Amino acid sequence: MRVVSLVPSLTEAIAVTVPGALVGATDWCSHPADLDVRRVGGTKNPDVPRVVALAPDLVVANEEENRAPDLAALRAAGVEVLVTEVRTLDQAFRELTRVLAACGAGRPRWLEEAEEAWAALPCPSARLRAAVPIWRRPWMVLGSDTFAADLLARLGVDNAYAGHAERYPRVPIEELRAADLDVVVLPDEPYRFTRDDGPEAFPPGTPTALVSGRHLTWYGPSLAEAPAVLSAALRAAVR
CATH number, domain of 52, equals: 3.40.50.1980
Nearest to 52 by CA among 43, 35, 40: 40
Residue 226 lies in a domain: yes
Average pLDDT over every residue of 136-161: 96
Residue 125: band (very low, low, confident or very high) from pLDDT cuts 50, 70, 90: confident
Residue 13 burial by Cβ neighbours in a 10 Å radius (0-12, 13-18, 19+)? buried
Residue 116 lies in a domain: no
Residue 186: band (very low, low, confident or very high) from pLDDT cuts 50, 70, 90: very high
Query: In total, how many domains does the chain have?
Result: 2
Say what the pLDDT of residue 46 is.
Answer: 97
Residue 79: band (very low, low, confident or very high) from pLDDT cuts 50, 70, 90: very high
Bridge partners, residue 92, by sequence: none
126 pLDDT more than 90: no
Please check whether residues 82 and 172 belong to one and the same domain: no
Average pLDDT over every residue of 26-32: 95
**In the listed set 58, 82, 107, which residue is the last one of a domain according to the structure?**
107
Cα–Cα–Cα angle for 207, 210, 211, nearest 5°?
Answer: 130
Please check whether residues 182 and 219 belong to one and the same domain: yes
Average pLDDT over every residue of 196-219: 96
Residues 158-196: b if buried by 16+ CB within 10 A, e if exposed: ebbbbebeeebeebeeeebeebebbbbbbbbbebebeee
Please check whether residues 44 and 10 belong to one and the same domain: yes
Inter-residue contact 164 to 144 (CB < 8 Å): yes
Domain membership of residue 216 as a residue range: 122-238
Please check whether residues 102 and 126 belong to one and the same domain: no
239 pLDDT more than 90: no
| Mean pLDDT, the chain, integer | 96
Say what the pLDDT of residue 89 is.
Answer: 98
**Per-residue pLDDT tens over the stretch 34-70:** 999 999 999 999 999 999 999 999 999 999 999 999 9
**In the listed set 55, 81, 107, which residue is the last one of a domain according to the structure?**
107
Q: How far is CA 7 from the centre of its chain?
A: 9
155 pLDDT more than 90: yes
